[in-house]
Structure 1
Amino acid sequence: MAASGDRLAAMADASGHRRHPTIQEQDDMTANTQRKYRADYQPPAYLIDDVALDFDIRDTGTRVRGQYQVRRNPDAAGAAALQLDGRDMQLHSVAIDGRALGADEYELGEHALVIAAPPSQFSLTIENEIDPEHNLALEGLYRSGDILCTQCEATGFSRITYFPDRPDVMSRYTTRIEADADQYPVLLANGNCVESGDAGAGRHYAVFEDPFAKPCYLFALVAGDLGMIRDSYTTASGREVDLRLYTEHGNEDQCDHAMASLKQAMAWDEDTYGLEYDLDSYVTVAVGSFNMGAMENKGLNVFNTACIFARADTATDGDFALVRDVVAHEYFHNYTGNRVTCRDWFQLSLKEGLTVYREHQFAIDQGSPGVTRIGQVRTIREVQFPEDGGPRAHPVRPESYVEMNNFYTITVYEKGAEVIRMIAQMAGRDAFLRAVRHYLDKHDGQAVTIEDFVVAMEESTGLDLDQFRRWYAQAGTPRLTLTTEFDQNQLRVRLTQSTPATPDQSEKQPFDIPVALAMFDAQGLPVGEPQVLRLNQAEQQWQFDGFDAQPTISALRGFTAPVKLDYPQSDAELARLMAFDSDPVSRWDAAQALYLNTLVADARARGADQPPAAAPQALFDAIESLLATPPDDRALLAEMLTLPSETRIGEQFDATDVFAVNGARRALKQEIARRFTGLFETLRDAHAASGPYVFDVAESGRRRVFALALDYLAAIDAPGIRDHALAVYNDADNMTDRMAALGALRDLTGDARTRAMTDFAERWADYPLVMDKWLRLQASTRRDDAIAQVRALLEDARFDFTNPNRVRALLGGFARGNGEAFHHADGQGYQLLADEILRLDRLNPQLAAALAGLLAPWRRYASPQGTAMREQLTRLAASDLSANTGEIVAAGLA
Structure 2
Amino acid sequence: MRDGTPTLIRLEDYVAPIYWIRTVELSFDLDPAKTLVTSKMQIQRNAAVPHGPLRLHGEELTLLRVLINGESVSFRQEGHELIIEGAPDADFTLEIRNTCAPEKNTALSGLYTSGGGFFTQCEAEGFRRITYFLDRPDVMAVYTVTLRADQAKYPVLLSNGNLLETGELDNGRHFAKWHDPFPKPSYLFALVAADLVSREQRIRTRAGKDHLLQVYVRRGDLEKTEHAMNSLIASVVWDEARFGLPLDLERFMVVGVSDFNMGAMENKGLNIFNTSALLASAATATDADFHRIESIVAHEYFHNWTGNRVTCRDWFQLSLKEGLTVFRDQEFSQDMAAAPSARAVCRIQDVRALRSGQFPEDAGAMAHPVRPDSYVEINNFYTATVYNKGAEVVRMYQTLVGRAGFEAGMKLYFERHDGQAVTCDDFAAAMADANPGSALATRLEAFKRWYVQAGTPRVQARGSYDAETQTYTLTLRQTLPDTPGQTHKQAQVIPVAMGLLGADGQALPLQLQGEAAAQGSERVLVLEQLEQSFVFVNVASAPVPSLLRGFSAPVLLDDGLSDTELLMLLQHDADAFNRWEAGQRLALARIIGAVRAGAALQLDAAFIQAMRAVLRHAELDPAFKALALTLPDEAYIAEQLAAAGHSVDPQAIHAAVEAAHIQLADALHEDWAWAFDAHQVRGGYQPTPQQAGQRALSNQALSMLVLHATRSGTTVWPGRAYQRFKDASNMTDRLGALSALVNAHAELAVPALERFHAQFRHEPLVVDKWFALQGRAAEVDGKTFARVKQLTQHPDFTLKNPNRARSLIFSLCMFNPAAFHRSDAAGYVFWAEQVLQLDAINPQVAGRLARVMDRWNVLAQPYRDAAREAIARVAAKPELSNDVREIIERALALDSQG
User: TM range, normalised to the smaller chain?
Assistant: over 0.9
1:526 aligns with 2:524: no
2:424 is matched with: 450
TM-superposed CA distance for 1:731, in Å, is 1.2
Of residues 469-478 and 51-60 in structure 1, the stretch that sits farther from structure 2 once superposed is 51-60
1:214 is matched with: 184
Code of the aligned partner of 1:772 = D
1:511 is matched with: 492
Alignment of 1:128-143 (within 5 A): 128-143=98-113
Within the candidate set 73, 76, 86, 1:117 is matched to: 86
Q: Distance in 2 between matches of 1:404 and 1:869?
A: 26
Report if the CA contact (8 A) 2:669-2:708 is conserved: no
1:306 is matched with: 276
2:803 is matched with: 805
1:5 is matched with: none
TM-superposed CA distance for 1:192, in Å, is 0.4
1:89 aligns with 2:61: yes
1:289 is matched with: 259
Structure 2: gaps of 5 or more residues: 510-520, 894-898
Structure 1, residues 642-675: CA drift from partner, whole Å, max 9, x if none? 1111112112213211111111111112111111
Partner SS for 1:578: helix
Report if the CA contact (8 A) 1:873-1:893 is conserved: yes
Code of the aligned partner of 1:557 = R
1:473 aligns with 2:478: no
2:673 is matched with: 681
1:767 is matched with: 763
Structure 1, residues 702-756: CA drift from partner, whole Å, max 9, x if none? 0011011112223323532210110110110000001110110013345421221
Partner SS for 2:30: strand
Within the candidate set 711, 722, 729, 1:726 is matched to: 722
1:70 aligns with 2:69: no
1:554 is matched with: 546
1:258 aligns with 2:228: yes
Code of the aligned partner of 1:86 = G
Q: Which is bigger in relative contact order (C-alpha 8 A, separation at least 6)?
A: 1
Report if the CA contact (8 A) 1:270-1:276 is conserved: yes
Within the candidate set 827, 843, 846, 2:844 is matched to: 846
Within the candidate set 480, 491, 513, 1:499 is matched to: 480
Code of the aligned partner of 1:826 = D
TM-superposed CA distance for 1:617, in Å, is 2.5
Q: Distance in 2 between matches of 1:167 and 1:545?
A: 53
- C-alpha distance 787-447 of structure 1, shift in aligned 2 (>3 A): same
Q: Distance in 2 between matches of 1:59 and 1:501?
A: 50
Within the candidate set 526, 529, 548, 1:537 is matched to: 529
Code of the aligned partner of 1:743 = S
Partner SS for 2:853: coil
Structure 1, residues 217-246: CA drift from partner, whole Å, max 9, x if none? 000000011111111221101111101111
TM-superposed CA distance for 1:630, in Å, is 4.2
Q: Distance in 2 between matches of 1:375 and 1:50?
A: 44
Partner SS for 1:241: strand
1:47 is matched with: 20
Partner SS for 1:338: coil
Of residues 790-799 and 761-770 in structure 1, the stretch that sits farther from structure 2 once superposed is 790-799
Of residues 192-201 and 170-179 in structure 1, the stretch that sits farther from structure 2 once superposed is 192-201
1:625 is matched with: 613
2:516 is matched with: none
1:754 aligns with 2:750: yes
1:893 aligns with 2:892: yes
TM-superposed CA distance for 1:195, in Å, is 0.8
Structure 1, residues 450-505: CA drift from partner, whole Å, max 9, x if none? 11111111111122311000000000000000001111221110000001100000
TM-superposed CA distance for 1:258, in Å, is 0.2
2:357 is matched with: 383
Code of the aligned partner of 2:486 = Q
2:817 is matched with: 819
Report if the CA contact (8 A) 1:478-1:500 is conserved: yes
TM-superposed CA distance for 1:28, in Å, is 5.1
Report if the CA contact (8 A) 2:665-2:704 is conserved: yes
1:652 is matched with: 640
Q: CA RMSD in A?
A: 1.2
Q: Distance in 1 between matches of 2:170 and 2:640?
A: 68
1:882 is matched with: 881
Of residues 451-460 and 626-635 in structure 1, the stretch that sits farther from structure 2 once superposed is 626-635
Q: Distance in 2 between matches of 1:832 and 1:250?
A: 37
Structure 1, residues 282-311: CA drift from partner, whole Å, max 9, x if none? 001000000010000000000000000110
Code of the aligned partner of 2:668 = F
Alignment of 1:139-218 (within 5 A): 139-218=109-188
1:780 aligns with 2:771: no
1:692 aligns with 2:690: no
- C-alpha distance 159-524 of structure 1, shift in aligned 2 (>3 A): same
TM-superposed CA distance for 1:110, in Å, is 3.1
Q: Distance in 1 between matches of 2:351 and 2:194?
A: 41
Report if the CA contact (8 A) 1:96-1:125 is conserved: yes
TM-superposed CA distance for 1:627, in Å, is 2.8
1:591 is matched with: 583
Of residues 544-553 and 467-476 in structure 1, the stretch that sits farther from structure 2 once superposed is 544-553
Partner SS for 1:518: strand
Q: Distance in 1 between matches of 2:56 and 2:497?
A: 51
Q: Distance in 2 between matches of 1:476 and 1:817?
A: 23
Report if the CA contact (8 A) 1:830-1:855 is conserved: no
Structure 1, residues 262-289: CA drift from partner, whole Å, max 9, x if none? 0000011011001110000000100000
2:513 is matched with: none
Report if the CA contact (8 A) 1:56-1:179 is conserved: yes
Report if the CA contact (8 A) 1:572-1:618 is conserved: no
Partner SS for 2:830: helix
1:98 is matched with: 70
Code of the aligned partner of 2:219 = H
Partner SS for 1:854: helix
Q: Distance in 1 between matches of 2:369 and 2:314?
A: 16
TM-superposed CA distance for 1:785, in Å, is 2.7
- C-alpha distance 468-59 of structure 1, shift in aligned 2 (>3 A): closer
Report if the CA contact (8 A) 2:118-2:192 is conserved: yes
Q: Distance in 1 between matches of 2:743 and 2:660?
A: 17
Code of the aligned partner of 1:762 = A
Structure 1: gaps of 5 or more residues: 1-26
Q: Distance in 1 between matches of 2:532 and 2:746?
A: 60
TM-score (norm 1): 0.95
Code of the aligned partner of 2:673 = E
Q: Distance in 1 between matches of 2:814 and 2:14?
A: 37
Q: Distance in 2 between matches of 1:579 and 1:234?
A: 47
Q: Distance in 2 between matches of 1:786 and 1:645?
A: 18
Q: Distance in 1 between matches of 2:785 and 2:207?
A: 59
Aligned length: 859
- C-alpha distance 628-786 of structure 1, shift in aligned 2 (>3 A): closer
Q: Distance in 2 between matches of 1:817 and 1:780?
A: 6
TM-superposed CA distance for 1:821, in Å, is 1.5
1:570 aligns with 2:562: yes
